[in-house]
Amino acid sequence: MTDFNSDLFKTIIPEGRGNTSEEVVSQLREMIHRGELHPGDRLPPERDLAKLLGVSRPTLRAGIRSLSAVGILQSRQGAGTFVVQSEGPPQLDSSPLRLMASLHGFTSAEMFEARQSLEMAIAGLAAERATGDQMASMAEEVTGMFASLDEPEQFLVHDMRFHQTVAAASGNRILTALMNMVATILFDARRKTVKHATDLKESAEMHRKIYRAIREHSPEAARLTMRDHLMLAQRAQEAEGIDYSDAADVAGNGDGADANPAT
Amino acid sequence: MTDFNSDLFKTIIPEGRGNTSEEVVSQLREMIHRGELHPGDRLPPERDLAKLLGVSRPTLRAGIRSLSAVGILQSRQGAGTFVVQSEGPPQLDSSPLRLMASLHGFTSAEMFEARQSLEMAIAGLAAERATGDQMASMAEEVTGMFASLDEPEQFLVHDMRFHQTVAAASGNRILTALMNMVATILFDARRKTVKHATDLKESAEMHRKIYRAIREHSPEAARLTMRDHLMLAQRAQEAEGIDYSDAADVAGNGDGADANPAT
DNA sequence: AGTTAAAGATTGGTCAGACCTTTGTCCGGC
DNA sequence: GCCGGACAAAGGTCTGACCAATCTTTAACT
């Protein structure tokens, strides 16, 4: 069913203007816009596709590279190039934001505040829309937190999943993606100092309050509770030295896992 | 000015594992993290840099390409490769979001809602923090709107600048960047149907209300007024056929629209 | 002398062809 | 029937070259 008739990939018109590789990007982008490429689809081999588009392979590769960088495509040596298919909610790459943070010296307070604003909005929406299943998932994660008060690593997993679930319940995938962008950076930073368990009990308690507010369908309560929770989390995390700087893996080829400070 | 002693660009260790070009990306990213590269800086020529990093030119180009795609670097033929320097607030490329919208079929309602949430948060913060200068800029834009009720194109410019100014007044560059990401897509869509002026008067009136709430330092009022404004805007825009699809320019050094004429 | 226009050097953009590494599949041996 | 090796497919990298846009320098002209 993956018959790529050469109809789909039309030869790139000369169009003298602009970079040829940008044309490739546009071409591929438009195919996505037109709905000719779906998540999970595999593109034709580079050599073939280059011929179809009428460009050289390096140029085509440059275009593919651009789309890979923004998380739309993904290449696997020996296998092929695929349209990214994220199982969960759509993901936006957080590395641009991370780079921007370094480049412009964003303060950690700014990042926390951004997350707070996003999560408050999300919590409010979730309180209006959460389904029974979603609320059950939240309850489960809260339970998981209480069950892992002595295992910070495990606790963090439940923490993240809880927020994920709330985001899903908000029904807005865009806000979810944006929130993840910011939260990922903060979680990465936290993972490094997670060993010192700081008030996990209280944190779990706050998550339960959030859950309850959502269950009661009280948007305002959910917002305020979420705000308090994140303010507390911020204070806890800032008490330790944070630095949301480097993070080797982005696309998830979790190879190294060598988070040790070799410096 | 920036003498690039070969000390900065250390040769990439063999590290057999993983893509070589990803190593280049990491190398450059770390240099940014470490603060060795600043906005506006120019990188060494590709040929030299490739030699310094110990990779071939195509590989280096692949790495540069990745960083260009996420808006960190920018290459100009004949001139060089530069670290992007946006005069205004830092910008995040909106094309990933746009692509994701096409790929997963985001509804326009979802996008409006995301923008609404972001702008409400921003308006609230702005009401707490706006300086006199910033409020003056807002007033100016509102005046501009009333002055261009018969020129939809011009009205739109003031509209955008007003929101920009409010975002700047929020003091949170991350929220600002995220909001721009979403708003850009909606504005692009609107630009296409801007000819039919729909209730510009009422829109201007609402902007003035927002301005007043901010001037009075009433976060809640600002939030609510912003919410009403955007709900109205959504309804107006949805009355016409929208499609937030294509948009040629992406990395275009979107100069225009600096919202601080008199600093 | 100052200004402008042309020539040269610099630098990113593209292309061609080749080879390597990884992945996936198929077939034969156990 | 299961497993492992061989072969093919596909992306990753490299060398080397040439083109096109840009910047710089120089020289001619006013």
| A35 CB below 7 A from strand C atoms | no
- Looking at the DSSP bridge assignments, the partners of residue A80 are A76
| A27 CB below 7 A from strand C atoms | no
Contact assignment for B17 to A255 by CB distance below 8 Å:
yes
- CA separation for the pair B37, B32 (Å, rounded): 5
pTM as predicted: 0.85
Residues 6+ apart with CB under 8 A from B212: none
Nucleotide nearest to A44 (CA to C1'): D10
- CA separation for the pair A191, B87 (Å, rounded): 34
pLDDT, tens only, A79-105: 999 999 877 788 898 889 998 998 898
CA B67 to C1' D15, in angstroms, rounded, equals: 25
What's the confidence (pLDDT) of residue A245? 53
- Looking at the DSSP bridge assignments, the partners of residue A74 are A82
The yes-or-no verdict on residue A14 having pLDDT over 70 is no
Q: How far is B102 from chain A (nearest CA, A)?
A: 5
CA B252 to C1' D6, in angstroms, rounded, equals: 51
- CA separation for the pair B120, B140 (Å, rounded): 21
What's the confidence (pLDDT) of residue A187? 85
pLDDT band at A152 (very low <50, low <70, confident <90, very high): confident
CA B61 to C1' D15, in angstroms, rounded, equals: 15
Residues 20-79 of chain B: which lie with beta carbon within 7 Å of strand C?
Answer: 43-48, 57-58, 61, 64, 75-79
Task: Give the nearest partner residue to B39 out of A30, A95, A103, using CB atoms.
Answer: A103
pLDDT, tens only, A201-217: 989 999 999 999 999 99
| A180 CB below 7 A from strand C atoms | no
Chain A residues in contact with B95 (beta carbon < 8 A)? 29, 70
Task: Give the nearest partner residue to A65 out of B29, B33, B62, using CB atoms.
Answer: B62
**Closest residue, chain B, to A114 (C-alpha):** B175
**Closest residue, chain A, to B245 (C-alpha):** A33
Q: Which fold has domain A95-253?
A: Four Helix Bundle (Hemerythrin (Met), subunit A) (1.20.120)
What's the confidence (pLDDT) of residue B195? 64
Where do the structural domains in chain B lie, given as residue ranges? 6-83, 95-253
CA distances to B22, B53, B69 from B27, rounded to whole Å, are: 8, 9, 17
Specify the CATH number for B6-83; select among 1.10.10.10, 3.30.230.10, 1.10.10.60, 3.30.360.10: 1.10.10.10
The yes-or-no verdict on residue A193 having pLDDT over 80 is no
CA distances to A118, B157, B168, B212, B239 from B160, rounded to whole Å, are: 22, 5, 12, 18, 20
Q: How far is B77 from chain A (nearest CA, A)?
A: 10
**Closest residue, chain B, to A87 (C-alpha):** B104
pLDDT tens digits in sequence order for chain B, 263 residues long: 444 444 455 554 444 456 788 888 888 888 888 888 899 999 999 999 999 888 999 999 999 999 999 999 999 999 999 999 887 788 898 888 998 898 888 998 999 999 999 999 999 999 999 999 999 999 999 999 999 998 888 999 999 999 999 999 999 999 999 999 999 999 888 877 766 666 789 999 999 999 999 999 999 999 999 999 999 988 887 776 555 554 443 333 333 333 333 33
The yes-or-no verdict on residue A15 having pLDDT over 70 is no
What's the confidence (pLDDT) of residue B88? 79
Mutate to test the interface with B, among A24, A34, A174 (most CBs of B within 10 A): A174
